[in-house]
């Protein structure tokens, strides 16, 4: 009876007489049948007119209102709120044209100003913000990789209660009830644990909460915190201060176990400043000027013949140490006595009984000679005493106010982080914590082992955590609520110098996540405020007087709140700041303790473990070891011999009553009898990417030895083998001259007056003897007029190996992650790699030195002639192009590439199935199929985009008068300047310079890249093969102290300093070949 | 070849060439080791002996076991290739820097093995070496199967095999031809030409024998199949005339291919800039190496076969002795190649060449290089002794050693040159995977499968040429070509 019309027909049939004699008795009788009644009353078919009665009408209204509500919901996750793009106003989204928005990448609580690139509503790439003091336009590897974390398909999607999916509403109900109960007791038993916090709004929210709940407490802890620096400042000056180094002014630098080029919130900025003092140029003349004053010494076109000199005393190998002109390797606990000896020498006391006495004497003389221009940098993870001594040294060297600036602290929490965590654990154990809110961080994984955080944590009645991932802590938590990625929400943050950035989102949250601000606002009793409103309201009170909207727009546009840097403070050294240690301070402090020294360091890529689900970072070859995918225990060659260890052996490390199994990696430059253990591996509750990667070094990291300690037990586990994925197993240069190193003196000799014999032979000047089968490229004026000729110069003298370029290239060019087993097989896909070489004898090598290696774009490319299907060919602009669609994958090109920069998709590496991971791809670059060769293209998509713009400009102005043409020329100049490859843009030291080698600016000058190619220390790699590479390198220069001789010393005693100086002729011979 | 002279001289006057051969044979008749045909054979016995192997209903137990093993190995090939095509070339151990691995090693190895057939058929034919008669059919088949095995590799080793046809110059909508500067394109032409000529040459050589088989076959179906394959051969004088001319022309065509194929294959390496590949001696040294390995493979196959099928009368000690001499001679050329490679490397003082050589001697693959020298240079020196040359068992072992050595040579060239070239940062290692071995072992399975089928269904020794040999052996001038005569006997 579903169809009423049929029903009516049936009725009519029934009304007809079955036989001729049977009549219906009356119309009434007929019409009284229920079927007829229904047919009569139903205008519409059954089901369509149910709304006639009351209940159905209500349903109708419900449905309509739901439809209306749903009409406002649409699939695209573009931000509904107003955010302001950087520079180019969004008059309209031009399809295919990206927009850039200024925001900041938070790392360890500090912000790095970035511009996030957005393609039609989805962020795809992170670039540095030139207006931000920590970035100056550059980025580091973590910032580059953060875009992948945004799209991580394994982000938690909803709140969870003990692992069960819940709604935010339910969570808020529970939280409201709890808070209402807490209100009675003033918040007794309520604790908040955060990571390092510099966000002004978050701090004010927490403070407001503490005001509302006076009995509540705020704790903070981050596994790689800078407690030493903080305590050192307190020890030296009686108060915490923020120390800012001015490497751009420093001519003599002493690093006391510091890795300022890699660690800390200012490392990107420090890279830039440091490089500016290391860059040596003849200004395109090929001849060094006799005199060059510091004032006219800037990079780029200006000539300068001086460079800073760096001394590094270090324990765990650092990239700062590799850049140093003199390096002393020592155990971590020898750094403090060494620093004391330096201070004693500066103060005129005798240090003759110190093992490095002669080194210290020569160095201190040099430092004192450059008073006011020398700088002592204490290590990020050294003891407070070293920091205090460094402060004292800087005072004695006249550095304060010159090369060192002290400001108000950026972090406002009154306690040191370790103390803060300890008191929380004590209280939890004491039962006085009733409810704990963990905002970010993963303390169960990363808290010092001896605190037994998990046991204490489980004593808390209600445990709530908000974090980006569902991690080890979430596993033991009652309520886990997802936190928004920084590109998904509003916030604010401060940089290393206190400069504030208002962070704006690029996309609506992909999952049901909220920001910490929103959670705290709810707790403060503002349940339905969006993060944007919270930030805006907070800034309304913070903004300077005047037009708030103008301030707001300007702050968002620039990515920087102007004038928000922390104020400079003047400090005075406390009288007892550098009180000598109780025992004989010139001997290693813990020499009496048996066993080895353990040194803990965060992994350069996955850091403290927070990036454990980021494939790009896992697969990033670590700057010094070139290892991917695992954290290791690093041994020196001598210690490894002593313990009969080889790479990939497994050792059992016993420390502070716990043991852990760790794979072995042997590395020159590691101090003897010390073992560097990298943190960050061994995550257990993590996504598929991070599962089974590395070992958990936190298990043996006690609060008493956060960064180093004596008494490590090392036991080799016989017969065990742990494969490690190293992208460059061979790091010796084998006497070859692919990587050239000179001292500054030699360079001056090369760049001296022309009549002198040049030290470097012809090929280094870019000229080659004609030995080729093929004709030389014609001179530019014959056929290349009007075309671009792209080229690159890489200044190895300022390349610090930080590897930001590697990830930048990966993000820009959709380079896939291949996984550990594929890396072991030698199939990593990075188009740009950083070759790391040691030089000299295997026993006491120099280095390592870094050489970014990417497609050299040979003018006579060996790869092109051997491709049978013409898939790789040469463009008229000098680019060796790769036509993916044409490639059938014979791999002959890779065999015939002397630089081995070609990468092959041996399997289907690109993830083309996971929906969120498709979003991260750069739409301007092909995602490659398996069986296809790929390699660096000089970011051809960026070149094409610029070329298009130039063509449009010129085309528009083709009939314009001459003065307009001049303007057009200037605009073209600007476009050419703005064209950067992804690696170049990310490089903090501006070591990579790309451009048109025949381009002339309106003022007749050439581009920087052209000038660099005329430098006397410019050379091409393997030019003897007649490849004529378009990418050339500027030799690495060292500026050793003549009083010390050696170039770059890796050994701890003065004897081997002399030894390595004897190596020098070998290096020169290599260069001469 | 003598027989076409007969055609041109129907009067029966003994042709000059034949007389020379006869004298030559008569001279050696006393010494059994110098004979190329056992005593007491007439047309009938020769025909019967060879065709019986095929036409018997009984399939030998040895054949079934051998074919079974080969079939299993071929299934391994099929499985390995299926995985390769579905998953990708990454199932092999190839990487960067060693982007070519077993596939190219096997390709060069098989192509090299394929050289003996054409050399025996064509060059020895033109040089009028009578002793080739009893091994040429067999060697040609081996060539064909070796080329078939080789042909798999360039196809499947590419990243996107479904597009491998782009290597051929065919008119297409892309308006793009192959890049003729690449030696891989030359390879396509060289190998496909070689494969085609080998097949045609082999088939043409089989036609008179197909006719014999047709005539002797008892079962109608078999008769029909051989009849179709014999293309209506009746053995008329005109047929023989045309046949001999065609055969000679094909031999002339095939001869340069013996040189060209492996020259082109060697250019795959020599054209590159890789130290260890960029060697001008490669073309002659590869050709010599190919003949070396080809003859070794013929020995490997012949010695068990003549034993199994009792063919000692047809494939005599003298045959073995001659082939061993060729192995020795080409082995010496190969040794010279190795020495010159080392000498030129050091003489150049080019640091990359020197490093490449030192790496071969002392690097991680030093064992492969040492084994290669042992197999290819030292072992063949035993062949200076006649006793060894005529001792089938030892010869068999030496031939296998040479086959292994020649495979190692290609491995050393391909892998040790690539794995450490210019930039030490990019040095790496190559470790074959189970699929590398699967395809390699499987290709051997394919080869033997085809070979077993061949000896079961086709006469493995040229019947008509053996009859010719009989005629010459007997010193009886024939009024008609040997094949014709014998067939007349049978028919009547």
**DSSP per-residue letters across A461-517:** SEEEEEESS--HHHHT-SEEEEBPPTTTS-EEEE-TT--EEEE--SS--SSS-B-HH
CB-based contact, B178 to chain A, within 8 Å = yes
Contact B382, B360 (CB under 8 A): no
Q: How confident is the model at residue A91 (pLDDT cuts 50, 70, 90)?
A: low
Task: Tell me if A870 and B178 make a contact (CB, 8 A cut-off).
Answer: yes
CA distance B257 to chain A (A): 22
B383: closest CA of chain A, how far (Å)? 38
Peptide bond preceding A446 in cis form (omega within 30 of 0): no
DSSP letter, residue B123:
I
Q: How confident is the model at residue A785 (pLDDT cuts 50, 70, 90)?
A: low
Q: Which residues of A touch B429 (CB under 8 A)?
A: 826
CA distances from residue A214 to A194, A210, A460, A538, B81 in whole angstroms, order as listed:
18, 5, 19, 22, 72
Are A445 and A473 a contacting pair, CB within 8 Å? yes
- Give the nearest chain A residue to B414 (CA atoms): A895
pLDDT tens per residue, range A865-875: 999 999 999 88
Question: For a pLDDT cut of 70, what percent of chain A falls above it?
Answer: 82
Question: What b/e string do you get for A46-81 counting C-beta neighbours within 10 Å, with b at 16 or more?
Answer: eeeeeeeeeeeeeeeeeeeeeeeeeeeeeeeeebee
Report in angstroms the alpha-carbon separations of B489 from A1036, B209, B461, B485.
91, 15, 20, 6
Q: Write out residues in chain B with pLDDT < 50, as ranges.
A: 1-25, 27, 29-30, 476-492
- How big is the A-B interface in CB pairs under 8 Å? 168
A16 has pLDDT over 60: no
Which of A815, A890, A928, A1026 to substitute to test the interface with B, most B CBs within 10 Å? Answer: A890
CB–CB contact B97 A900 (8 Å): yes
| Chain B residue numbers touching A903 (CB-CB < 8 A) | 96
Predicted local confidence at residue A55, as pLDDT: 58
pLDDT tens digits along A312-367: 998 989 999 899 988 888 888 888 889 988 988 888 887 788 888 888 888 999 99
Q: What is the pLDDT of residues A188-231, one digit of tens each?
A: 889 999 999 999 999 999 999 999 899 889 999 999 888 888 88
First to last CA, chain A: 99
Chain B partners of A624 at a C-beta cutoff of 8 Å? none
Alpha carbon A156 to its chain's center: 23
Q: What share of chain A is helix, strand, coil (3-state, %, to 5)?
A: 30, 20, 50
Chain A closest CA to B465's CA: distance in Å? 43
Tell me which residue in B98, B418, B422 faces A1022 most closely, judged by beta carbons.
B422
Shortest Cα distance, chain A CAs vs residue B334, angstroms? 25
Q: Could you tell me the CA-to-CA distances from A343 to A389, A395, A573, A590, A1054 in Å, in that order?
A: 7, 11, 14, 21, 19
Tokens of B390: 């005529």
Q: Tell whether the torsion through CA atoms of B74, B78, B81 and B83 is positive or negative.
A: negative
CA distance A1068 to chain B (A): 16
List Cα–Cα distances, B261 to B176, B285, B407, in angstroms.
Answer: 26, 13, 18
A-facing residues of B in 62-91 (CB < 8 A) are 87-91
Q: Which pLDDT value is given to residue A1060?
A: 35
Q: Which of B87, B160, B183 sits opposite A866 (nearest CB)?
A: B183
pLDDT at residue A783 in the model = 57
Closest CA to A172 of A677, A493, A520: A520
pLDDT band, residue A856 (cuts 50/70/90): very high
Tell me which of A889, A905, A932, A1027 to substitute to probe the interface with B (most B C-beta atoms closer than 10 Å). Answer: A889
Is the Cβ pair A895, B179 closer than 8 Å? no
B contacts of A860 (beta carbons < 8 Å): none
Cβ separation of B96 and A932 shorter than 8 Å? Answer: no
More confident residue, A1046 or A457: A457
Report CB contact under 8 Å: A867, B182.
yes
- Among A740, A826, A867, the strongest candidate for a mutation testing the B interface, having the largest count of B CBs within 10 A, is A826
Is B96 within 8 Å of chain A by CB? yes
Residue of A870, A888, A903 lying closest to B176 (CB–CB): A870
Chain B nearest C-alpha distance from A659 (Å): 34
Q: Which of A45-54, A513-522, A1012-1021 has the lowest mean pLDDT?
A: A45-54
- Find the CB nearest B166 among A833, A869, A1022: A869
Q: Which of A732, A905, A932 sits opposite B424 (nearest CB)?
A: A732
Q: CA–CA separation, A880 vs A179, rounded Å?
A: 65
* A105: three-class secondary structure by DSSP: strand
A774 vs B contacts (CB less than 8 Å): none
Q: Measured between CB atoms, does A1073 come within 8 Å of chain B?
A: yes
- Give the distance from residue A860's alpha carbon to the nearest chain B alpha carbon, in angstroms: 12
Short-list A821, A205, A852, CA closest to A533: A205
| Residues in chain B within 8 Å Cβ distance of A829 | none
Note the ipTM here: 0.86
Q: Residue A878: left (phi > 0), alpha (psi -120 to 50), or beta?
A: left
* A862 vs A454: CA distance, rounded Å: 59
Neighbour count for residue A712 (Cβ, 10 Å)? 24
The three-state DSSP-derived secondary structure of A125-167 is EEEECCCCCCCCCCCCHHHHHHHHHHCCCCCCCCCEECCEECC
**Element holding A794 (H helix, E strand):** strand A790-795
Q: What was the pLDDT predicted at A1025?
A: 86
Cross-chain residue pair B96–A902, CB shorter than 8 Å: yes
Max intra-chain CA distance, chain B = 79
Q: Within an 8 Å CB–CB cutoff, is residue B276 touching chain A?
A: no
Whether A891 sits inside 8 A of B87 (CB atoms) is no
Interface test with B, best of A891, A899, A1022, A1026 (most B CBs within 10 A): A891
Range name among A386-395, A838-847, B192-201, B404-413 with the lowest pLDDT average: A838-847
> Is the CB of A15 inside 8 Å of chain B's CB atoms?
no
CA distance A356 to B208: 94
Of A307-311, A734-738, B196-200, B428-432, the least confident: A734-738
The pLDDT assigned to B467 comes to: 80
Q: What is the DSSP string of A925-992?
A: SPPPPTT-EE---SSHHHHHHHHHHHHHHHHHTTTS-HHHHHHHHHHHHHHHHH---HHHHH-TT--E
**What's the confidence (pLDDT) of residue A775?**
59
Peptide bond into B97 cis (omega under 30): yes
Which residues, including other chains, have CB under 8 Å from residue A365's CB and lie 6 or more apart? Answer: A1043
CA B399 to CA B420: how far, in whole Å? 32
**Which residue from A851, A908, A1025 is facing B273, i.e. has the nearest CB?**
A1025
Q: What is the pTM of this model?
A: 0.83
**A193-227 burial by CB neighbour count: b if 16+ within 10 A, else e?**
bbbbbbbbbbbebbeebbebbeebbbbbbbbbbbb
- Whole-Å CA distances, A969 to A965, A998, A1010: 6, 15, 19
Q: Is B351 on the interface with A (CB under 8 A)?
A: yes
B396 and B362 Cβ atoms separated by less than 8 Å? no
Q: Hey, of A839, A855, A856, A906, which one would you mutate to test binding to chain B, going by the most B CBs within 10 A of its CB? A: A906
A866 touches chain B (CB under 8 A): yes
DSSP line for A328-358 = EE--GGGHHHHHHHHHHHHTT---TTSTTHH
The average confidence (pLDDT) of chain A is 82
Q: A780: pLDDT confidence band, cut at 50, 70 and 90? A: low
CB contact under 8 A, B96 and A851: no
Asked if B179's CB is within 8 angstroms of A867's CB, the reply is: yes
- A1021 contact B CB<8A: yes
Phi, psi of A839 (to 5 degrees): -130, 155
- Taking chain B, what is the end-to-end CA distance rounded to the nearest angstrom? 28
Question: Is the Cβ of B254 closer than 8 Å to some Cβ of chain A?
Answer: no
Whether residue B428 lies within 8 A of chain A, CB to CB, comes out as yes
* C-alpha torsion B365→B371→B373→B377, nearest 10: -160
Identify each DSSP E strand in A525-673 by its residue range: 596-602, 627-628, 633-635, 649-655, 658-666
Secondary structure percentages of chain B, helix, strand, coil, to 5: 75, 0, 25
The pLDDT score that the predictor gives to residue A782 is 58
**Eight-class DSSP state of A69:** H
Task: Give the minimum alpha-carbon distance from A785 to chain B in angstroms, rounded to a whole number.
Answer: 28
- From the list B96, B178, B184, the residue facing A892 with the nearest CB is B184
Query: Which of A831, A869, A1029 has the most B C-beta neighbours within 10 Å, making it the best mutation to test the interface with B?
Result: A869
Residues of A in contact with B160 (CB under 8 A): 887-889, 929-932
pLDDT of residue B7: 39
Q: Which residues in chain B are closer than 8 Å to A895, comparing Cβ atoms?
A: 97, 99-100, 272, 274, 418
| Chain B residues with beta carbon closer than 8 angstroms to that of A842 | none
* Cross-chain residue pair A731–B424, CB shorter than 8 Å: yes
Give the model's pLDDT for residue A1053. Answer: 40
């Amino acid at each position: 009876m579903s169809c009423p019309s049929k029903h009516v027909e049936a009725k009519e049939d029934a009304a007809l007489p079955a036989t001729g004699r049977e009549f219906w008795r009356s119309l009434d009788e007929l019409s009284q049948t229920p079927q007829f009644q229904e047919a009569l009353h139903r205008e519409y078919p059954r089901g369509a007119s149910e709304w006639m009665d009351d209940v159905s009408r209500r349903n109708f209204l419900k449905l309509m209102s739901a439809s209306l509500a749903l009409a406002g919901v649409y699939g695209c996750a573009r931000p509904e709120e107003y955010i302001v793009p950087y520079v180019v106003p969004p008059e309209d989204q031009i399809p295919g044209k990206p927009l850039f928005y200024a925001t900041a990448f938070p790392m360890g609580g500090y912000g790095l100003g970035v511009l996030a690139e957005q393609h039609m509503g989805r962020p795809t790439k992170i670039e540095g913000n030139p207006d931000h003091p920590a970035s100056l336009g550059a980025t580091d590897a973590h910032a580059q990789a953060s875009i992948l974390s945004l799209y991580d398909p394994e982000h938690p999607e909803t709140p969870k209660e003990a692992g069960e999916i819940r709604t935010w509403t339910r969570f808020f109900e529970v939280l409201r009830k709890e808070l209402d109960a807490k209100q009675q007791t003033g918040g007794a038993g309520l604790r908040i644990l955060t990571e390092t916090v510099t966000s002004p709004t978050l701090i004010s929210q927490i403070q407001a909460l503490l005001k509302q709940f006076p009995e509540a407490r705020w704790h903070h802890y981050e596994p790689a915190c800078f407690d030493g620096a903080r305590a050192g400042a307190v020890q030296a000056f009686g108060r915490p201060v923020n120390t800012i180094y001015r490497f751009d002014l420093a001519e003599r630098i002493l690093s006391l176990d510091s890795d300022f080029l890699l660690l800390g919130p200012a490392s990107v900025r420090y890279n830039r400043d440091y490089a500016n003092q290391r860059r040596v140029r003849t200004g395109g003349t090929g001849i060094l000027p006799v005199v060059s004053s510091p004032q006219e010494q800037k990079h780029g076109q200006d000539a300068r013949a001086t460079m800073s000199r760096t001394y590094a005393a270090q324990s765990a190998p650092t990239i700062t140490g590799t850049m140093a002109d003199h390096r002393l390797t020592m155990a971590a606990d020898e750094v403090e006595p060494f620093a004391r000896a330096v201070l004693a020498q500066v103060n005129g006391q005798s240090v003759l009984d110190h093992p490095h006495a002669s080194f210290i004497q020569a160095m201190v003389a040099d430092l004192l000679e450059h008073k006011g221009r020398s700088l002592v940098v204490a290590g990020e993870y050294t003891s407070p005493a070293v920091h205090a001594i460094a402060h004292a040294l800087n005072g004695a060297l006249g550095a304060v106010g010159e090369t060192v600036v002290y400001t108000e602290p950026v972090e406002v929490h009154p306690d040191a982080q370790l103390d803060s965590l300890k008191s929380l654990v004590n209280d939890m154990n004491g039962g006085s914590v009733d409810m704990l809110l963990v905002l970010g961080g993963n303390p169960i994984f990363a808290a010092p082992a001896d605190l037994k955080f998990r046991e204490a944590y489980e004593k808390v009645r209600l445990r709530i955590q908000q974090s980006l991932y569902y991690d080890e802590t979430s596993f033991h938590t009652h309520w886990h609520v997802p936190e928004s990625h920084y590109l998904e929400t509003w916030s604010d943050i401060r940089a290393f110098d206190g400069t504030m950035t208002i962070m704006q989102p690029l996309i609506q949250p992909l999952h049901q996540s909220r920001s910490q601000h929103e959670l705290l606002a709810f707790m403060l009793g503002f349940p339905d405020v969006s993060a944007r409103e919270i930030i805006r309201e907070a800034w309304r009170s913070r903004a300077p007087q005047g037009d708030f909207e103008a301030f707001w727009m300007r702050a968002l546009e620039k990515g920087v709140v102007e004038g928000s840097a922390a104020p400079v403070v003047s400090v005075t050294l406390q009288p007892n700041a550098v009180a000598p240690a109780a025992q004989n301070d010139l001997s290693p402090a813990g020499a009496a303790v048996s066993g080895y020294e353990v040194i803990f360091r965060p992994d350069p890529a996955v850091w403290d473990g927070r990036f454990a689900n980021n494939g790009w970072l896992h697969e990033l070859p670590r700057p010094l070891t070139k290892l991917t995918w695992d954290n290791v225990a690093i041994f020196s060659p001598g210690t490894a011999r002593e313990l009969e260890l080889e790479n990939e052996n497994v050792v059992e490390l016993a420390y502070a009553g716990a043991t852990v199994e760790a794979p072995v990696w042997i590395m020159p430059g590691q101090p003897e009898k010390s073992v560097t253990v990298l943190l960050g591996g061994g995550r257990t509750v993590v996504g598929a990417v991070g599962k089974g990667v590395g070992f958990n070094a936190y298990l043996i990291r006690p609060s008493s030895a956060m960064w180093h300690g004596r008494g490590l037990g090392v036991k080799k586990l016989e017969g065990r083998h742990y494969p490690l994925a190293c992208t460059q197993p061979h790091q010796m240069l084998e006497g070859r001259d692919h990587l050239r190193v000179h001292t500054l003196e030699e360079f001056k000799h090369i760049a001296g007056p022309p009549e002198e014999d040049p030290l470097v032979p012809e090929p280094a000047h870019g000229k080659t003897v004609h030995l080729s089968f093929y004709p030389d490229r014609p001179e530019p004026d014959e056929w290349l007029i009007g075309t671009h000729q792209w080229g690159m110069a890489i200044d190895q003298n300022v390349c610090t190996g930080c590897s930001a370029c590697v990830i930048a290239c990966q993000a820009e060019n959709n380079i896939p992650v291949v996984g550990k087993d594929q890396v072991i097989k030698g199939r990593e896909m990075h188009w740009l790699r950083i070759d790391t070489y040691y030089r000299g004898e295997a026993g006491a090598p120099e280095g390592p030195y870094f050489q970014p290696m990417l497609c050299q774009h040979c003018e006579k490319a060996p790869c092109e002639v051997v491709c049978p299907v013409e898939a790789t060919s040469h463009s008229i602009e000098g680019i060796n192009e790769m036509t993916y669609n044409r490639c059938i994958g014979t791999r002959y090109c890779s065999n015939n590439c002397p630089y081995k920069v070609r990468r092959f998709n041996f399997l289907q590496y690109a993830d083309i199935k996971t929906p969120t991971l498709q979003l991260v791809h750069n739409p301007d670059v092909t995602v490659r199929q398996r069986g296809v060769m790929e390699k660096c293209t000089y970011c051809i998509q960026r070149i094409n985009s610029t070329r298009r713009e130039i063509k449009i400009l010129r085309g528009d102005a083709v009939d314009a008068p001459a003065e307009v043409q001049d303007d057009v020329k200037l605009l073209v100049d600007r476009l050419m300047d703005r064209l950067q490859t992804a690696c170049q843009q990310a490089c903090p030291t501006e070591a990579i310079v790309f451009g048109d080698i025949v381009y002339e600016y309106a003022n007749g000058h050439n581009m920087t890249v052209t000038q660099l190619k005329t430098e006397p220390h410019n050379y091409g790699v393997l030019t003897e093969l007649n490849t004529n590479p378009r990418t050339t390198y500027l030799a690495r220069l060292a500026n050793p102290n003549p009083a010390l001789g050696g170039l770059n010393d890796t050994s701890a005693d003065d004897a081997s300093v002399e030894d390595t100086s004897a190596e020098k002729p070998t290096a020169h011979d290599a260069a001469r070949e | 070849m003598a027989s076409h002279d007969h055609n041109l001289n129907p009067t029966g006057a003994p042709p000059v060439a034949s007389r020379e051969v006869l004298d030559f044979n008569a001279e050696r008749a006393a010494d059994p080791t110098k004979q190329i045909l056992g005593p007491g054979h007439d047309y009938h016995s020769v025909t019967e002996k060879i065709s019986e192997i095929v036409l018997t209903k009984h399939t030998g137990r040895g054949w079934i076991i051998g074919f079974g093993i080969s079939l299993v190995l071929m299934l391994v090939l099929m499985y390995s290739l299926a995985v390769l095509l579905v998953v990708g070339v990454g199932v092999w151990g190839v990487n960067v820097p060693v982007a070519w691995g077993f596939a190219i090693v096997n390709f060069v190895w098989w192509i090299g093995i394929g050289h003996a057939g054409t050399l025996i058929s064509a060059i020895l034919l033109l040089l009028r070496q009578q002793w080739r008669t009893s091994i040429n059919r067999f060697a040609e088949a081996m060539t064909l199967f070796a080329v078939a095995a080789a042909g798999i590799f360039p196809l499947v080793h590419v990243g996107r095999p479904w597009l491998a046809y782009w290597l051929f110059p065919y008119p297409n909508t892309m308006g793009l031809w192959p890049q003729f500067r690449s030696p891989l394109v030359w390879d396509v032409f060289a190998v496909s030409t070689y494969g085609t000529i080998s097949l045609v040459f082999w088939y043409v050589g089989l036609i008179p024998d197909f006719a014999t088989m047709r005539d002797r076959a008892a079962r109608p179906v078999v008769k029909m199949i051989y009849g179709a394959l014999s293309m209506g051969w009746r053995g008329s004088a005109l047929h023989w005339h045309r046949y001999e001319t065609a055969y000679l022309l094909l031999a002339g065509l095939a001869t340069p291919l013996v040189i060209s194929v492996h020259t082109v294959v060697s250019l795959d390496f020599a054209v590159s800039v890789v130290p260890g590949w960029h060697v001008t001696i490669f073309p002659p040294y590869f050709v010599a190496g190919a003949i070396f390995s080809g003859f070794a493979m013929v020995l490997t196959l012949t010695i068990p076969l003549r034993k199994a099928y009792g063919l000692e009368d047809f494939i005599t000690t003298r045959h073995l002795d001659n082939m061993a001499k060729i192995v020795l001679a080409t082995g010496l050329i190969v040794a010279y190649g190795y020495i010159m490679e080392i000498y030129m490397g050091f003489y150049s003082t080019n640091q990359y060449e020197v490093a490449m050589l030192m790496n071969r001697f002392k690097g991680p693959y030093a064992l492969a290089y040492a084994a290669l020298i042992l197999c290819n240079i030292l072992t063949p020196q035993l062949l200076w002794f006649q006793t060894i040359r005529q001792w089938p068992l030892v010869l068999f072992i030496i031939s296998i050693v040479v086959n292994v050595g020649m495979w190692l040579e290609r491995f050393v060239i391909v892998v040790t040159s690539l794995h450490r070239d210019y930039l030490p940062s990019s040095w790496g290692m190559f470790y074959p995977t189970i699929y590398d071995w699967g395809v390699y072992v499987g290709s051997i399975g394919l080869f033997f499968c085809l070979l077993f089928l061949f000896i079961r269904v086709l006469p493995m020794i040229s019947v008509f040429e053996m009859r010719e040999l009989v005629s010459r052996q007997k010193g009886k001038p024939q009024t008609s070509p040997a094949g014709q005569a014998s067939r007349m006997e049978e028919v009547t």
